[in-house]
Amino acid sequence: MTRNDGRLNFNLLDEDPLPQDECGVFGVWAPGEEVSKLAYYGLYALQHRGQESAGIAASDGKSIRVYKDLGLVSQVFDESTLNSLTGHIAVGHCRYSTTGASQWSNAQPTLGDTPHGTVALGHNGNLTNSADLRDRIIERHGRADFGELNQGNTTDTALVTALLKEQPGDSLEAQAMALLPTLEGAFCLVFMNENTLYAARDPHGVRPLVLGRLASGWVVASEQSALATVGASVIREIEPGELIAIDSDGVRSHRFAAANPSRCVFEYVYLARPDANINGRSVYESRVEMGRQLAREDTHDADIVIPVPESGTPAAVGYAEASGLPFAQGFIKNAYVGRTFIEPSQTLRQLGIRLKLNVQDHVVRGKRVVVVDDSIVRGNTQRAIVRMLKEAGAAEIHVKISSPPVKWPCFYGIDFASRAELIANGATMDEITQAVGADSLAYISEDGMIAATQQPRSTLCTACFSGVYPIKLPPESRRGKMLLEQPADSSQNPGGGCDPGPDAEFEIDEIPLAEAKK
């Protein structure tokens, strides 16, 4: 049986996975409402941000119940499970792993005990000082196996939950204010104890986090789509460096660090849903404007403009508008594409992309075609798309990309390919064009992309394009997806147990560039 994989923009080729965000977080404080069902539908709207596991914790004011498992939101929960999660506060999470393996023990929300009740916590982002945080626990206790860490949890989220217990303060609120300034990297945290809902965003505001209002309470979520799904109105974004608390006294705001915005520009390019707004700018309008700017920078004589569905559609609309070329749907997507539990035969595996996408021959035959997509990672997908268009009779194929070349890995919550796998790393434009088999290839400029977001350059993180990391990175030996999977004893694994490179943990088998040119 085939099930939708929850992504807005699915992987056209299994060996060429798209960049993936770490997680979606959701929290609700709403007495008298079925908060677990609100959390369920909120997570459903955030499913594109994480598809490996899902979980919901709910409190009735006396105790917290949590249910989590591997799988999509729709696979993990059913009516009876949700009915058992009663109360007036809930925290939900859908996960894609960038720290720690994809395993049940790493599903969130994580649980921990504190002097001020039980805490259930969900995290979107990626901490860069996880090794230091683990060392802090070891220094205090001689070991790093408290709470869920003792149950095999190997995430930076479990470190945060464990460290909350250690902080000074006469309330969980005060403890959070003591801990949050010591966390480095990207984090949007949604957590609760038995009576209060909390949300915090790192001082750089790398990942989005918004506050919404229900008739009977409040909601926090990674994106506005989750608010709209549960009928909440948007109030504002949680500010970078802000902690909010929500209980029967209303909403309280605390500043734990000065804001120093470095919002992820790739949220505008690809990660967020098109109906999101980030810092007052529509993601959809940003993507359309990227297409317009791409056409201004590089317009080819052609007959039609077609998108790679769905990620390339807004930019293709903008490109067609600015170039004056007609927009057409050259590809039809299988509406039921997704994860399958049936292993395809070798013959079907060789068909690859054709299981998920088909060309409309009558649309492209004999035409000079501009194909618009949001990014190129390894290049395998674009190579397959160009091949399909040629076989369908396209006269010329001009590939246009609405982001600059991706050359650097992300350490703030996006799972890119390793730098060695990124086709734009070390290859010239002509070499990439030849590798994907197109007649021409053009990327938008970094300036053009940034202008389309209507955000000041100084407030955006462009590290995956520029290699300039706004948040200090630890040495290679102190970072990596499987850092916390390894022993902390440096005699067993020097450098705190990290993988042998900055992003070697992301490596998979890949077609070498030289072979791709053949």
What confidence tens digit (pLDDT) does each residue in 13-55 have? 555 555 545 689 999 999 999 999 999 999 999 999 988 899 9
pLDDT of residue 351: 65
pLDDT of residue 453: 98
* Mean pLDDT (whole number) for 366-390: 95
Q: Is the pLDDT of residue 515 over 80?
A: no
Q: Is the pLDDT of residue 2 over 50?
A: no
Q: Is 439 annotated as a binding residue?
A: no
Q: Is the pLDDT of residue 96 over 50?
A: yes
Q: Compute the distance between CA of residue 42 and CA of residue 219 in angstroms, rounded to an integer.
A: 9
Cβ atoms of residues 129 and 474 within 8 Å: yes
In the annotation, is 498 catalytic? Answer: no
Closest CA to 300 of 446, 433, 444, 439: 439
* Mean pLDDT (whole number) for 284-307: 96
pLDDT of residue 12: 57
pLDDT of residue 310: 87
pLDDT of residue 189: 98
Neighbours of 193 (CB within 10 A): 22
Question: Which top CATH class is 281-460?
Answer: alpha beta
Q: Is the pLDDT of residue 475 over 90?
A: no
* Mean pLDDT (whole number) for 93-101: 69
Cβ atoms of residues 352 and 384 within 8 Å: yes
pLDDT of residue 457: 97
Q: Is 145 annotated as a binding residue?
A: no
Beta strands in 325-438 (DSSP E): 331-333, 339-340, 357-359, 368-373, 396-401, 414-415
The pLDDT-based confidence of 263 (bands split at 50, 70, 90) is: very high
The pLDDT-based confidence of 478 (bands split at 50, 70, 90) is: confident
Q: Is 374 annotated as a binding residue?
A: yes
Name residues whose C-beta falls within 8 Å of residue 301's C-beta, 6 or more positions apart in sequence. 368
Q: Is 498 annotated as a binding residue?
A: no
Q: How many CA atoms lie within 13 A of 238 on its CB side?
A: 40
Considering only 129-138, 357-366, 397-406, which range has the smallest mean pLDDT?
A: 129-138
100-118 pLDDT, tens digit each: 556 677 888 999 999 999 9
**Which parts of 1-53 fold into alpha helices (H)?**
35-45
The pLDDT-based confidence of 140 (bands split at 50, 70, 90) is: confident
414-464 pLDDT, tens digit each: 877 678 889 999 899 999 999 999 999 999 999 999 999 999 999 999 999
Q: Compute the distance between CA of residue 453 and CA of residue 153 in angstroms, rounded to an integer.
A: 37
Neighbours of 274 (CB within 10 A): 17
pLDDT of residue 149: 74
Question: Which top CATH class is 20-269?
Answer: alpha beta
CA distances from 367 to 229, 370, 395 (A): 41, 9, 5
Q: β-strand 89-95 against 331-333: which pairing, if any?
A: unpaired
The residues spanned by each domain of the chain are 20-269, 281-460
β partners of residue 183: none
- If one compares 16 and 172, the residue with the highest pLDDT of the two is 172
Residue 127, SS3 per DSSP: strand
Place of tokens 């170039």: 323
Q: Is the pLDDT of residue 378 over 80?
A: yes
- If one compares 180 and 4, the residue with the highest pLDDT of the two is 180
The percent of the chain in helix, strand and coil, each rounded to the nearest 5, is: 30, 25, 45
Q: Compute the distance between CA of residue 103 and CA of residue 481 in angstroms, rounded to an integer.
A: 13
Q: Is 94 annotated as a binding residue?
A: no
pLDDT of residue 250: 95
233-252 pLDDT, tens digit each: 999 999 999 999 999 999 99
pLDDT of residue 143: 74
Work out the angle at residue 475's Cα, subtended by the Cα atoms of residues 149 and 420, and round it to the nearest 5 degrees: 100
Q: Is the pLDDT of residue 341 over 80?
A: no
pLDDT of residue 15: 53
Considering only 219-223, 378-382, 494-498, which range has the smallest mean pLDDT?
A: 494-498
Share the mean pLDDT of the chain.
Answer: 86
Q: Compute the distance between CA of residue 447 and CA of residue 52 in angstroms, rounded to an integer.
A: 35
Considering only 375-384, 394-403, 435-444, which range has the smallest mean pLDDT?
A: 375-384
Q: Is the pLDDT of residue 9 over 80?
A: no
Residue 415: exposure state from Cβ atoms within 10 A (0-12, 13-18, ≥19): buried
pLDDT of residue 418: 76
Q: β-strand 368-373 against 414-415: which pairing, if any?
A: unpaired
Q: Is the pLDDT of residue 510 over 50?
A: no
Q: Choose, from 23, 94, 188, 498, the residue flagged as catalytic.
A: 23
Q: Is 188 annotated as a binding residue?
A: no
Q: Is the pLDDT of residue 213 over 70?
A: yes
Q: β-strand 23-29 against 89-95: which pairing, if any?
A: antiparallel
* Mean pLDDT (whole number) for 202-229: 97
* Mean pLDDT (whole number) for 64-80: 94
pTM of this structure: 0.86
pLDDT of residue 485: 55
Closest CA to 108 of 147, 63, 137, 135: 147
Percent of the chain with pLDDT over 70: 82
Q: Is 464 annotated as a binding residue?
A: yes
Q: Compute the distance between CA of residue 281 and CA of residue 286 in angstroms, rounded to an integer.
A: 7
Q: Is the pLDDT of residue 64 over 90?
A: yes
Q: Name the phi and psi angles at 233, rounded to 5.
A: -90, 145
pLDDT of residue 356: 82
Q: What is the largest CA-CA distance in the chain?
A: 73
pLDDT of residue 452: 98
pLDDT of residue 46: 96
